[in-house]
Amino acid sequence: MKKIKKNKLITLTVFNIIELFLIATIAVLFYLNIPVSSTKVIYIPKGSTNSIITHLNKNGYETNTLDKLVVRSFGYPQNGWIDLKTQYMTKGDFLYKITKSKAALKTITLIPGETSYIFLEQLAKKFNLSLKKLQKIYYEHAYKEDGNILAETYSLPYGMKEDHLLFYLFSHTNKQYEEFSRKIFGYYDKKKWYFYLTIASIIQKEAANEDEMPLVSSVIYNRLRKGMALQMDGTLNYGKYSHVRVTARRIKEDTTSYNTYKNKGLPTSPICAVSLNAIKAAIFPVKSDYLYFVKDNKTGLHKFSNSYAKHVNNINANRGVKKSYTKVKEKVTKIDKQAKKIMNTDVSKQKPSSIKDLWNNVQ
């Protein structure tokens, strides 16, 4: 008799446990099906599950201990900007997506030779940001007027605020600059590095292709050494004038340091964003006595010369010649070959004897 009662008690207990489990399961399922409204892109900070749940609570998402347990059952929350794909979902979907969804990324390219003024406009449009905020933050924190962001393709999280985005670009660029400088010089001096960036930005604007970069670089150094004004149109394509044709009127009216017709020496800031190749050419100019260059209408490449008389002849040779821009050099000189070799050499293996002299040019 006692045994029967004991069995009934066990059965009743098991039944109650099952009943409670089913009720709890139904309650959890009901809870997980509660509708949730969110932005399509959400920021999840780094940290423990507890700190992430607290962060969500502070930002308008009603979360609790149950949410924490559910998230842990799915895995570990992502961090950064997460693309949820939709604004409306169930609580279960939301918790699942913050652990499994991929980062919300958009790609944007800062073209070598483009100015920060234009790039900020592109960032604002593509990432739906405030241009005024971007400009304010940029000019408050940028080291120089331009050249603070390396020219390359960036995959950036959609949903970043203006300050986060720019600080990331500044930080990424500075790390690249430092790494590149250490490969060449063994250390990084920001002030001296931006001296080379300024030269690189002029090269970026003036050179017709990468092989010409060390040639243009040599012209810049040669003219600086002789105390000649650079007199290069590209320096006037700064800021909002990036794509504006340089006219005699612009040359006459522009009073900034970018006007290398009026001012000797380099501008006080890089003109534009540069590639690592342009920086390389700025540090390793080819050895030449070139002082002038003009674009050849036939090839679209430049003709370099060491005297004004030869330069005038090269200008006159363009008269009546249709612009075809074949990009094929008719005669490859020894200096051209040396320039090509510079661009094809690993920077960590380039050790020109004039390296110390280049540094001294900054003093």
158: tokens are: 């959609």
pLDDT digits (tens, 9 = 90+) for 162-180: 998 999 999 999 999 999 9
Q: How far apart are CA 84 and CA 89, in angstroms?
A: 9
User: Measuring CA to CA, how many Å separate 134 from each of 121, 174, 221, 334?
Assistant: 9, 19, 35, 47
Q: pTM of this prediction?
A: 0.75
Q: How far apart are CA 352 and CA 108, in angstroms?
A: 36
Q: What is the 3-state secondary structure (H, E, C) of 204-261?
A: HHHCCCHHHHHHHHHHHHHHHHCCCCCCCHHHHCCHHHCCCCCCHHHHHHCCCCCCCC
∠ CA 95-96-99, nearest 5°, is 95
User: Measuring CA to CA, how many Å separate 113 from each of 149, 243, 294?
Assistant: 11, 10, 19
pLDDT digits (tens, 9 = 90+) for 63-94: 888 878 877 878 777 777 777 777 787 877 87
Among the listed residues 116, 147, 169, 109, the one whose alpha carbon sits nearest the alpha carbon of residue 278: 147
- Does 31 have pLDDT greater than 80? no
pLDDT digits (tens, 9 = 90+) for 111-158: 999 999 999 999 999 999 999 999 999 999 999 999 999 999 998 877
> Quick one: pLDDT band at residue 359, thresholds 50, 70, 90?
very low
Query: In sequence order, which residues have a C-beta less than 8 Å from that of residue 102 and are 6 or more positions away?
Result: 82, 83
Q: How far apart are CA 215 and CA 321, in angstroms?
A: 24
Q: How far apart are CA 249 and CA 204, in angstroms?
A: 24
Q: What 3-state class would DSSP assign to 45?
A: coil
332: tokens are: 């490859």
pLDDT digits (tens, 9 = 90+) for 278-337: 999 999 999 999 999 999 999 999 999 999 999 999 999 999 888 888 888 888 999 999
Q: Are residues 101 and 41 in contact, defined by beta-carbon separation less than 8 angstroms? A: no
In the block, residue with structure tokens 């964003």: 273
DSSP 103: B
Q: How far apart are CA 183 and CA 262, in angstroms?
A: 36
Q: Is the dihedral of CA 165, 167, 171, 174 positive or negative?
A: positive
- Does 14 have pLDDT greater than 70? no
Give the amino acid at 190: K
Q: How far apart are CA 332 and CA 141, in angstroms?
A: 45
Give the amino acid at 274: V
